[in-house]
Amino acid sequence: MGDYKVWRVLSLFLLVVIAARGDLSYDFYKTRCPQAEKIVMDVMVNATLSDRRIGASILRMHFHDCFVEGCDGSILIDSTSTNQAEKDFPANFPSIRGFDVIDAAKAAVEKVCPGIVSCADILAFAARDGVHLSHGPFWNIRSGRRDGRVSMFNRVPLFLPPPTSNITQLITSFAAKNLSKSDLVFLSGGHTIGFSLCSSFNSRLYNFTGRGDQDPALDAALAQTLKGQCPRPPTRVDPIVPMEKTPFKVDTKYFKGVLKRRGLFTSDSALLNDPFTKSLVIKSAADESFFLGNFIQSMIKMSELEVKTGSKGEIRKKCHVIN
């Protein structure tokens, strides 16, 4: 896990500089369910022991949740006969994994503190823990999010930037959520861990402009390697490949790879197409402390997007179904 004492100190500093949002609090469960975060961490530890990819998967789930209806656990809700939910949108299905882990964490918390801790908070805790269990930093999270009651398939593409996004589209998507260019770069740094389905970037290998060509912004040697792993579409199989060379460890290799034109997604390469975002990629590649400190700040900011507090939303009994 690594030594995270430095990052605990840094996260305390960030409590001062990051403005309060809604009714969230760092001691929201202090009296009503003080064990909540430990219970979630224990579940994540066990899940990581059996599946080293799970930390990155939960981190991605949290990002996809926050960008649509805000950080309200709407991505966890199952579709019904009358509503197709977010989790079934192609950007989420079948690539988003870990719903069973969040369900397990919720069940464990419910045994100790029934009806108190929201699924939205559990997802935020689990994403943070997944990063930490991938040899990354630990930070404090304000809690008090309530669970949303709306989850709609057709709202996902309105807000969630796809991996094919160019730099203008990325900046616009992030700005719509009051996230800056800096947040764009540091949150993209979440690609330091995890794997991707080939379908998320296959067009860069086989049909970038619709003429059967390869994306010239992708390192040619990497493209050849990926072609050996990712079949030409259409295909029944959709293999996974690591996002970068150390997919189970939070480090700066993602940024170093982007600078060498080895980012898997068009959205990764796009970070080099704006002078400001490129400068942050360069600095993050050279200075791990710079990246990690700013990653924490951007994660805290993202995890508080459009949260529901007070009387809004609900506390679901089970994360996959509205009460």
**100 assigned to a ligand binding site:** no
Q: Are 61 and 101 in contact, with CB atoms under 8 Å apart?
A: no
Give the model's pLDDT for residue 16: 39
- 282-285 contacts, C-beta under 8 A, 24 or more apart: 282/255, 284/185, 284/186, 284/189, 284/252, 284/255, 285/252, 285/255, 285/256, 285/258, 285/259
**284 assigned to a ligand binding site:** no
Q: Are 35 and 113 in contact, with CB atoms under 8 Å apart?
A: yes
Strand partners, 168: none
**185 assigned to a ligand binding site:** no
6-51, pLDDT tens digit by residue? 555 455 544 433 434 558 999 999 999 999 999 999 999 999 999 9
Percent of the chain with pLDDT over 70: 93
* Residue in 64, 132, 135, 320 annotated catalytic: 64
Q: 64 an active-site residue?
A: yes
pTM: 0.93
Mean pLDDT of the 272-276 span? 98
Give the model's pLDDT for residue 284: 98
**246 assigned to a ligand binding site:** yes
> Is residue 310 over pLDDT 70?
yes
Q: Are 122 and 106 in contact, with CB atoms under 8 Å apart?
A: yes
CA 51 – CA 74 distance, rounded (Å) = 24
149-161, pLDDT tens digit by residue? 999 999 999 999 9
> Helix, strand, or coil here: 242?
strand
Across the chain, mean pLDDT equals: 94
**225 assigned to a ligand binding site:** no
Strand-strand pairing, 240-242 and 195-197: antiparallel
**161 assigned to a ligand binding site:** yes
**Domains of the chain in sequence order:** 5-161 (1.10.520.10), 167-297 (1.10.420.10)
Q: Select the more confidently predicted residue: 1 or 100.
A: 100
